[in-house]
Amino acid sequence: MESITKNRQSPQTLQAMIERAYGPDLVPTGPEDTWHEELGHGWFNVAYRITLRDGQAKVVKIAPPPGVEVMTYERGAMGIELTSLRMIAEQTAVPVPQVDFVDTTHELVDADYFFMPFVDGDNFAVVRDALSDEEQDHYNRELGALNRELNAIRGPWFGPLAGPGDPSWRVVFGGIVEDVLHDGERRGVDLGWDYGLVRRVIAERAAVLDEVTEPRFIEWDLWDGNAMIRDGRIVGIIDHERALYGDPLMEAGFVASQLPAFGDSAAFMAGYGWAELTETERLRRQLYCLHLVLVMMIETDYRGHADTTQYDWARERMDEVMAALGVAAPTT
C-alpha cells in the first residue's frame, strides 16, 4: 500500500543495516530480488522481508522520514511498537515476533529501525475471501481470545504506554479525539460535519466513559490485517504502533457491533467472551467508532493517498455513526 510515510531504502543501505544487525558473514549478496522484498500490507512504516546469507528470513521495519508530518498520535509509533512487543512477550502467551536488533542512532538511516524474524504465515485479511465462513469464524474467535489475553495486561494509568497518563479515561479519550480533530483542522480536512458539532457530541456523552476505571493494554488496531495464520491457527500478531492503556471495548474487533459495514463481530465477541453490549457499553463503542472514522478520513491527507477510496468510505461511516448517536444530518 502506498503512503508518503514509507521510508524506502536502497539495497546498499539495507545491506549496511543487515551487517550492523547480524554481522558481515550474514549479509546477503547476489541479485537484489533474491534477498529483499518490500511487504506491502501496511500504510505507515515501510517493511522489507530480508533473506540472510544463511537462509534465515527476517523483517526490517523503518520509521517514517523526519521531514514527513504525521498525525499527533503517530509520533513515536516505533517506540510504542517495541514497548508493546516486549510487554506482550513477557506477560502473555500471545504469539508475537521477538526483536533481534534496534538501531536509533540514525547513522545509516534518517529514522529508527528494527529487525525481527519473518512470521511464516498468511495475512488473514489478504486470504479472507478464499476462506469458508466457518474458517473465518474460527480465526475471528481465536482473535477474540488472543485480544482478551492482551487486555489482561493492566496499566498504571490511562494513555500512552510510556506516559504521561491520567487516572481518568474520560480525560484521556477526550484528549485523543481532540488531537485527531486538531490534526484535521490543521490540514483543512472536510468531515462533512462541523468540527464544533463533533466536539459537542462527544462532550455531551462523555460521562459514560467514567464507567471505565481500570487501565488495560489495548492494541486498538488489531484487525484481521494484523493477524498471520497458518495450519488452522493464528501464528503471529503484528503491527503494535497504536497500543495504549485504555478501554478494551475500543478494540477493533468490536467495531462491527455498531457499524455493520465493518463486518460481523459475533465470532470475535464469542471468542473474547463478551456477551451482548449493555446500553452504556453501546454508547461507549459508538464514541470509539466516531474516533475511528475521524482517523480514517483525516489520515488520508497525511498519508498522501492518491485516490479518495478510503476517505469516501469512511465519510459514509461518519454519517452512520452520527445517526447512531442521535445526531441529525447537516443540511446543505
Q: Which residues of 234-265 are buried (b: 16+ CB within 10 A; e: fewer)?
A: bebbbbbbbbbbbbbbbbbbbbbbbbeebbeb
Range from 2-6, 103-107, 236-240, 313-317 carrying the lowest mean pLDDT: 2-6
Q: Where are the domains of the chain?
A: 11-117, 122-324
> Considering only CA atoms, which of 98, 90, 229 is closest in space to residue 150?
90
Residue 1 pLDDT greater than 70, yes or no: no
User: Domain 122-324 carries which CATH code?
Assistant: 3.90.1200.10
pLDDT digits (tens, 9 = 90+) for 14-25: 999 999 999 999
Q: Who's near 205: CB < 8 A, 6+ residues apart?
A: 283, 287, 325
Q: Radius of gyration over alpha carbons of the chain, in Å?
A: 20
pLDDT digits (tens, 9 = 90+) for 190-209: 999 999 999 999 999 999 99
Whether 64 and 111 have beta carbons less than 8 Å apart is answered as yes
Residue 43 pLDDT greater than 70, yes or no: no
Measured between alpha carbons, how far is 234 from 70 in angstroms, rounded to an integer?
Answer: 31
CATH architecture of 11-117: 2-Layer Sandwich (3.30)
Joined grid coordinates for residue 183: 490534526
